[in-house]
Amino acid sequence: MTKKIYFMKKQFYSHLITLEVIRVEMNELHLSEKEKEELLKLAESHVHHVMLDEALSRIKGDDKKIFLQHVHLAEHDKALALLRKHSQNIEMHLLHAAHVLLEELRDDIRELKKNKE
Amino acid sequence: MSQNGYAQHYDYLKNKWTDKEQQLNKKLWKKHKEALDWFVHQSKHITASSLGSLILLTATPGLQSATVLPAVRQTSQFAQIDHSTFLISDLYGKLPSNIVPLSQEQKERIAAILSNRFGLPVRSELQGVQLNTNYGLIGEEQHLARYPGDTMNSQLPIADDAAKYWSSGMAPGLGAWGYFASSSATMTDTDVAREKWYIAVQTFLSPGYYTNVAQYNAFFKYRKILVVNPQNGKAVVSDIADAGPSEWTGKSLGGSPEVMSYLERVDGAAKGPVLYFFIDDPNDTVPLGPISVK
């Protein structure tokens, strides 16, 4: 069973994170679809930065370089396997970092909603 | 609010989030400069002028550089997402950061999540019996002989399966309940599935086990268990066909090669955390094998 949602481009963390909460939060701002898309792309860029930071922070030594190669070549499974080698609960760490970021972005939107009211 | 007001919303968010993106970019490069510098310099196709945007997505207007990573150059899109993502989100924050036995409250909360997501009656306790833990490391087990004279050739007659699972080999001893069938001729599809999707559980560590070993063994024999990889949402309906592993291994349960492969738990050490709970299936209607989130 599937559901239609805004989905980020495939990355090593794609199975963990969606921007659906941000898209839904934006609905009440009456942004045009094009504006929403541009903002979601910005949010996606934020997520990518934070995920790379979290991942590289968990990897030691030259494996950081191998990891970047995997990301560069879109070898998502290999990138994730390498991460798991360095951090058994890497998904939990990635989820936590993404959660903090997405809450910040939601707060930005909620602030605008308050002003709207 | 006027249309101008709405336009201000866009401008406000765009400016704020563009600034934030730049801050995140700076932070990333500051923290991981050595690895990122190495990556840039070893690539013939990325120029020094694009250093700042190397790891960026192409989201920021004006930063649509041709030199960004291919992995992040594709356009975002609306797509279909499997509901396992929602299971992962459900479980996030509800599991302890270390792999330790769950509290009673955690067990109940997670059993409720799994029941809801898989549409099955998932229980941490069934008929008064509990497992020693419901969250632990799983390791790969070998194939079990299903009947006297069973061999790897007879277990894996299909070339693709043989290529994937042959290397796991066959255990020298039998499973906890002996052979699955008395002979090849009498072996049923159920017997085949029971071996294929079996797990080994530390039945001997179950609370109260030694108060009535025979009764507990009768309960555990081929008992259906939902095994879930909380990190990717993949799940299998398994049956208990062996007892183990030993406590000293640091692992809490073992999975057949097929179970491990499906759960994607075959990493370097061939072990990783899973959730495992009883399925209340008195009429034997839940089939063994992979199961998806509803």
Is it the case that residue B52 has pLDDT exceeding 80? Answer: no
pTM for the structure as a whole: 0.57
Is it the case that residue B46 has pLDDT exceeding 70? Answer: no
Confidence of residue B43 (pLDDT cuts 50, 70, 90): low
What pLDDT was estimated at residue B53?
Answer: 35
DSSP B159-185: HHHHHHHGGG-B-SS--TT--SSSSTT
What pLDDT was estimated at residue B97?
Answer: 76
Is it the case that residue B4 has pLDDT exceeding 50? Answer: yes
For residue A102, the surrounding DSSP H or E stretch is helix A90-116
Task: Report the complex ipTM.
Answer: 0.92
Please name the fold of domain B84-291.
Answer: Barwin-like endoglucanases (2.40.40)
B51 or B23: which leads in pLDDT: B23
| Averaged pLDDT score across all residues of chain B | 82
| Token digits of residue B196 | 């294929």
pLDDT tens digit sequence for B53-95: 344 332 333 333 323 333 333 333 333 345 676 787 678 778 8
Cβ separation A45–B6 shorter than 8 A: no
Distance from CA of A37 to the nearest CA of B (A): 9
| Dihedral angle of Cα B33, B34, B38, B39, to the nearest 10 degrees | -50
Tell me where in chain B the CATH 2.40.40.10 domain(s) lie: 84-291
What pLDDT was estimated at residue B164?
Answer: 83
Which residue of chain A is at minimal alpha-carbon distance from B27? A53
pLDDT tens digit sequence for B201-258: 999 999 999 999 999 999 999 999 999 998 888 999 999 999 999 988 889 999 999 9
Residues of chain A with pLDDT under 70: 1-7, 116-117
Which chain A residues have a beta carbon less than 8 Å from that of B95?
92
What pLDDT was estimated at residue B6?
Answer: 57
Proportion of chain B above pLDDT 90, given as a percent = 54
Distance from CA of B122 to the nearest CA of A (A): 20
**Window A:18-37, CB contacts with B under 8 Å:** 18, 29-32, 35, 37
pLDDT tens digit sequence for B262-271: 998 865 455 6
Cβ separation A44–B59 shorter than 8 A: yes
> For residues B152 and A103, what is the distance between their CA atoms, to the nearest angstrom?
53
Position A22, amino acid: I
